[in-house]
Amino acid sequence: MKTYTPIKLILIFLSSFCFYFNVNAQKCIKLSGVIYGPNNNKLSSVIITLNIPQNNLFSISKHDGSFLLDVCNLNDSLKHNPINLTFNLIGYFEKSILLNDLLSDKNLHSIILDPKTIQLSEVIVHTKPIIVNGDTTIFKINSFQNKLDNNLEDVLRKMPGFDVDATGNILFNGKPIENVLIEGDVLTKNYKQISKNIEPGMIDRVEIIDKYNSNSLLKDLSNSNRQVMNLKLKNPKKLKTFGSFKASAGIKDRYSFTGNIFVFNSFIKTMGIASKNNIGESPYNEILGTEEFDQIKDNDFDKSVMPNYITEDKLFTRPSFQMHKILCLIDLKCWF
């Protein structure tokens, strides 16, 4: 029996391993090349696909445009049959090369891809509708309101540029709003009656008009610094109503009642306001603006300040806790 020394066994093992490695190495074909775009720019991240039946092979080009695709354990029949090699990159046309013989065509050298124009589908961007048209800034109120908003003030607090203080005074871009119009018409000098009571669902748009002049013919000729808010209604021809009522009572028969109601559309605008109390509160702030109220709150007033449609008892003496004060106002305005 023939015996082998350890050294001989090692040599036999190494020889067998090298032979096996060489045989397997011969079974792999290396496809290589460099991919270019316009102006000889080398293209990276190109996907290379070798379309072999039932076993596609893939590779990706490097930053220098080069690629290497190892094709191993390929049947001898396929080595000499045409095989399709494709190159894909976003923004470029797909390129296909037919390799008639892998053994002879394994070095592809330079591959050039042609760029293509991509037609993007239409993109619609929805923004909060705020339109600036000259001296008028228009807000689409639906974009700012939600189900928790009870009145116009609640919505204004969320709209850009608006500031509403604790007493209901409204500022836009730091400038006070002098009045709130409805469809361009003045309904009351105390706009808080509107902003605190009107439901946001009645309003389509809020318009802030700077340099406002009630006479449209003089608008371009005057240097008015007034700023007002105009409310554009949803379905302006439909009659709308809103209002509020507040009552309170205390010890020693003290009480206070205030209420208001507004009814309007694009043709008729009317309101009714009532106030009665015996706790020394002036009812004037229900109907007057801030400047007018300041003139009369200390009995320093001019009768011309009060509109002629107000009927009242003798309130021109200094208020007393024992004095009952009643103020009723009904205003009816029609536009045809």
Same domain, 228 and 255: no
Using a CB cutoff of 8 Å and minimum separation of 24, what contacts does 235-238 make?
236/183, 236/265, 236/266, 237/265, 237/266, 237/267, 238/265
For residues 115 and 305, the model is more confident at: 115
pLDDT at 20: 45
Q: With CA atoms as reference, report the closest residue to 33 among 25, 22, 43.
A: 43
pLDDT at 322: 38
Same domain, 270 and 190: no
Q: What does the alpha-carbon distance between residue 47 and residue 72 come to, in Å, rounded to a whole number?
A: 19
* Antiparallel, parallel or unpaired: β 227-233 and 255-264: unpaired
Residue type, 220: D
Contact in structure between 276 and 323 (CB atoms under 8 Å): no
CATH number at residue 211: 2.170.130.10
Residue 3 belongs to some domain of the structure: no
pLDDT at 10: 60
Whole-structure pTM over 0.75, yes or no? no
The alpha carbons of the chain give a radius of gyration, in whole angstroms, of: 43
pLDDT at 299: 47
Share of the chain above pLDDT 90, in %: 26
The total number of structural domains that make up the chain: 3
Same domain, 255 and 324: yes
Residue 57 belongs to some domain of the structure: yes
Residue 118 belongs to some domain of the structure: no
Same domain, 310 and 334: yes
Domain that holds residue 249: 238-336
pLDDT at 208: 95
Same domain, 87 and 140: no
Mean of pLDDT values over 306-333: 43
Share of the chain above pLDDT 70, in %: 70
Last residue of a domain, one of 171, 202, 234: 234
pLDDT at 328: 46
Asked whether the CA dihedral 231, 234, 239, 240 is positive or negative, the reply is negative
Same domain, 312 and 225: no
Same domain, 133 and 163: yes
Same domain, 207 and 221: yes
**C-alpha 277 chain-centroid distance:** 47
pLDDT above 50: residue 324: no
Backbone angles phi, psi at 107, to 5 degrees: -105, 105
Residue 8 belongs to some domain of the structure: no
For residues 102 and 52, the model is more confident at: 52
Last residue of a domain, one of 211, 234, 257: 234
Same domain, 329 and 259: yes
Confidence class of residue 318 from pLDDT cuts 50, 70 and 90? very low
DSSP H or E run through 3: none
Please report the DSSP string for 276-302 in residue order. EESSS--GGGGTS-HHHHHHHTTS---
* pLDDT tens, residue by residue, 262-285: 887 777 778 787 888 888 776 665
Cα separation values, 183 from 66, 192, 204, 267, Å? 71, 17, 11, 10
Q: With CA atoms as reference, report the closest residue to 182 among 141, 227, 232.
A: 232
* pLDDT tens, residue by residue, 28-46: 788 889 999 998 999 999 9
Same domain, 86 and 23: yes
Residue 58 belongs to some domain of the structure: yes
Same domain, 287 and 224: no
- How many other CB atoms sit within 10 Å of the CB of residue 213? 16
pLDDT at 159: 92
Residue 6 belongs to some domain of the structure: no
Q: What does the alpha-carbon distance between residue 7 and residue 108 come to, in Å, rounded to a whole number?
A: 46
CATH number at residue 51: 2.60.40.10
pLDDT at 19: 45
Q: What does the alpha-carbon distance between residue 230 and residue 186 come to, in Å, rounded to a whole number?
A: 9
Last residue of a domain, one of 112, 141, 171: 112
* pLDDT tens, residue by residue, 227-266: 999 999 888 888 888 777 888 888 888 888 888 888 877 7
Residue type, 94: E
Same domain, 139 and 193: yes
For residues 155 and 331, the model is more confident at: 155
Using a CB cutoff of 8 Å and minimum separation of 24, what contacts does 88-97 make?
88/46, 88/47, 88/49, 89/43, 89/45, 89/46, 89/47, 89/113, 91/115, 91/116, 91/118, 92/37, 92/43, 92/116
